Every structure is written in structure tokens, then in C-alpha cells.
Amino acid sequence: MPDLMPPRRERLEILGEVNSPSFVPWIKRHSGRLGLEASAFSVAPGRIGVTVAGQPDLIDALEVGCLLGPIDVWVSAIDRAPVADLI
Amino acid sequence: MIDAWYPVGLISGLTREGRETLLMEQPITVRAGKTGKPEVVTADGRSLPIVERFGHVWTSLGTPEKDLFTIPEADHPERVLVDVGVVRVKCSPLRAVENFLDIAHFPFVHTDILGAEPHTEVEKYDVKIREEEDEVWATKVKFFQPQAAKSAEEGITTEYMYRVPSPTSSVLYKTCPPRPGEWDVICLFVQPLTETLCDVWPWMALFDEDTSMTDLIHFQQLIFLQDRSILENQIPARLPLDPGMETPTRADLTSIAYRRWLKQHGYTYGAELVAQ
């Protein structure tokens, strides 16, 4: 079994036509399926921010999933930045 | 999608009697006209537009705004052009294209041919929707293959480029073992019969002076028949444009880019819009 990388906390800023009411619940659900902790949501026109914590590969997977997202959003870009080490 | 071009038959297979088939559920007949040129007509006698390219007859139920894409590399006079034929698959036409773009399945589905354990890792590669050409491109894709082509005698790390120039067509460029610096061109042209049934017309333009045409066709048919059993058992049958019930990863970025491009254009024939 491969060694797990240390968990990480990152801020994702999801940009585009993202203000459908379905998107935040979708992100929460998808984060949960990936075993990530999602918190501190912020919503502004053309932007959703979320802080996620967990395995780096799974944060990558959340980014990949969000790039497509639900049918009623169009994600043009996702900016990622580390928040702070968990350990 | 109605205005896109779709393959509906081999030019070499045209007959005066014609072949009755479907295009997006519409009955059509593909035949050789009196002059030998291809004709495609609908059940109510409407003549559809035609392009002859890559060994196939292409048509559209609508009014295409642009010409069918080109593959300049395939024009090289020394290439062997291979009409592989047709394989009917009970799956969404979009699923057939997406499977073609998926390199991660090689070691598990095309074991000891296009991939083998333990060489299962897909290295990081570049993928983007090229706005100017309005196409999906994946480049710098590298993968170890035990037998990358009929002409390959031993395992090599093969480099690929994937291109999606129309909703149900994909072009794969891959390392050409006998001709370093050139790319073999392998295409998947998909005719959407219905949202969950398609005819797949593989086509190749290769540098290979040694392998017989029969062996080249058999090699490609073997690869695609291995894919068919996987394709016909995928759930849901249509290609999800919402990944809510899946866990795509970095290795799936080409698939994600393809789905984003479909979504951007409203190409939803054969797609599942909401995760079930």
C-alpha cells in the first residue's frame, strides 16, 4: 500500500458561471464522497470559495470534479492556495 | 450536434443499392449515385450534404457551419491508409469517444498489448480546449506499452497526443516505432445511431511497410473488440456530464476536458445531464 502524504488545507476559488444554488451543495456532497472536509464557503458573483482539508490527491480529485461540475454551472478556472499546515 | 459531420460508411463499400442505416434515429440510405459519387438520402427523400474524407462518407442532418476537420499528417504519400471497417457497439457514441481518450485502462483491458502491470501510472500531461481551433487536445501523454503497434517488437514508452475535433470523432497521434520523429495516426469515427447505440469506424494512417493490411486491420479490431465488452456494460449508458456519482482524478483530465467541451457547446445527444 502506498504511503499517504500528509493532509493539507487549501483554499479553492472556483470562478465562472458558478452561482447556481445547486453548486455549493454539490461541492459539499462531492467533498464528502472524497473524504475531504469542506468549510468556510463564500459566494460572490462569478466566484465560490471553499476551504478543503485532506489528502492532496483527493483535493486534486475535487478540483477535477469541480471543473466539470453540475450541468447548470460553467467553471472557467479554479485557483488554489495553501491555507496552513494541518500538522 | 445536428449540424456536425458524421461518418456513415466506407467509400470503398458503396453500392448502387445502398446501405440502410440510422443517423441520430433518422433512417438514411448511403449509396453510390449514377456517377459513382456517394449520396445520402433520408426516408422522405431529402438529400443530405456530403464530404468524402479519410476513406469515409460523412454527412449531416443539419447545416454544418464549417468544413469537416482535416488531418494534414495523414496526407503523407508514404503512409498506409487503413479502412478498419465497422464495429457496432451498444453504448452512447460519446462513451465510445471517451473510452478512446482514456489511457488508464490500457493495462487492464488491453493487457500485454497496449499496457501491462505494474506499469499502470499515467504521468502528468497537458490538456486544454484550444479556443482558436475549437478542439480538445491532450499532449505529452507518455505510457509504457508492451506492443504499441503491430510493427513494434518489444515494449517501449510511447508518447501520445489526443485530439477531439468534432463531438463523435477522435484522433490519436502516437510514437511511430519504425519512423522516429513521425506520428502514427489512429482515428475513431463514431456514427451515432441512437443515444445508446453507435457504429464505430476506426481508421489509421501509418508508416508501416512490413505488416500486411489484413494484420493491421485485425490488430485494430482486436483492440476495439476488447473495448466493446467494457463499453457495453458501463452504467449509466449515456455519458454523464455531471461527475457527481464518479470520482474523476488527474488521469481523467482528457475525459473531463472532452465533457467540458461537450457541455460548452450543448452537445448532449448521448449524454446524461444529471448524475443519477
Q: For position B24, which CATH number holds?
A: 2.102.10.10
Question: Nearest-CA residue of chain A relative to B264?
Answer: A74
Give the three-class secondary structure for A60: helix
Q: Do B48 and B86 share a structural domain?
A: no
Q: For position B94, which CATH number holds?
A: 3.90.380.10
Q: Do B250 and A26 touch (CB under 8 A)?
A: no
Which pLDDT value is given to residue B263? 94
How many structural domains comprise chain A? 1
Note down the domain range covering A47. 8-82
- In a domain, residue A1? The reply is no
H-helix segments, chain B? 93-101, 106-109, 213-231, 253-265
How many structural domains comprise chain B? 2
Q: Do B40 and B137 share a structural domain?
A: no
Q: Tell the burial category of B178 from Cβ atoms under 10 Å away from its Cβ (0-12, 13-18, 19+).
A: middle
Q: Do B85 and B30 share a structural domain?
A: no
Q: Do B193 and B93 share a structural domain?
A: yes
For an interface test with A, give the residue of B254, B260, B262, B268 to mutate (most A CBs within 10 A): B260
pTM of the model: 0.89
Note down the domain range covering B103. 74-234
Which of the residues in chain A have pLDDT under 50?
87
Q: Do B218 and B108 share a structural domain?
A: yes
Question: Nearest-CA residue of chain B relative to A28?
Answer: B244
Question: Nearest-CA residue of chain A relative to B242?
Answer: A70
- In a domain, residue A32? The reply is yes
Tell whether A16 is within 8 A of chain B (Cβ): no
Which pLDDT value is given to residue B166? 95
Who among A57, A67, A71 is closest to B274 (CB)? A71
- Which residues from chain A sit within 8 angstroms of residue B252, using beta carbons? 64
Who among A60, A68, A74 is closest to B243 (CB)? A68
Q: Tell the burial category of B121 from Cβ atoms under 10 Å away from its Cβ (0-12, 13-18, 19+).
A: exposed
**Beta carbons within 8 Å of B195's beta carbon, 6+ residues apart:** B92, B93, B238, B269, B270
Instruction: Please name the residues between 26 and 85 in chain A that touch chain B, using a CB distance below 8 Å.
Output: 26, 29-30, 33-34, 57, 60-61, 64-65, 67-71, 74
Which pLDDT value is given to residue B81? 93
- Which residues from chain B sit within 8 angstroms of residue A67, using beta carbons? 256, 260
- In a domain, residue B244? The reply is no
Q: How many CB atoms lie within 10 A of CB B153?
A: 7
Question: Nearest-CA residue of chain A relative to B241?
Answer: A71
Who among A29, A33, A68 is closest to B259 (CB)? A68
- In a domain, residue B34? The reply is yes
Whether B143 contacts B136, CB under 8 Å? no
**Beta carbons within 8 Å of B131's beta carbon, 6+ residues apart:** none
Which pLDDT value is given to residue B122? 72
Q: Do A68 and B242 touch (CB under 8 A)?
A: yes
Which of the residues in chain B have pLDDT under 50?
none
Q: For position A36, which CATH number holds?
A: 3.30.70.100
ipTM of model: 0.84
Give the three-class secondary structure for B29: strand
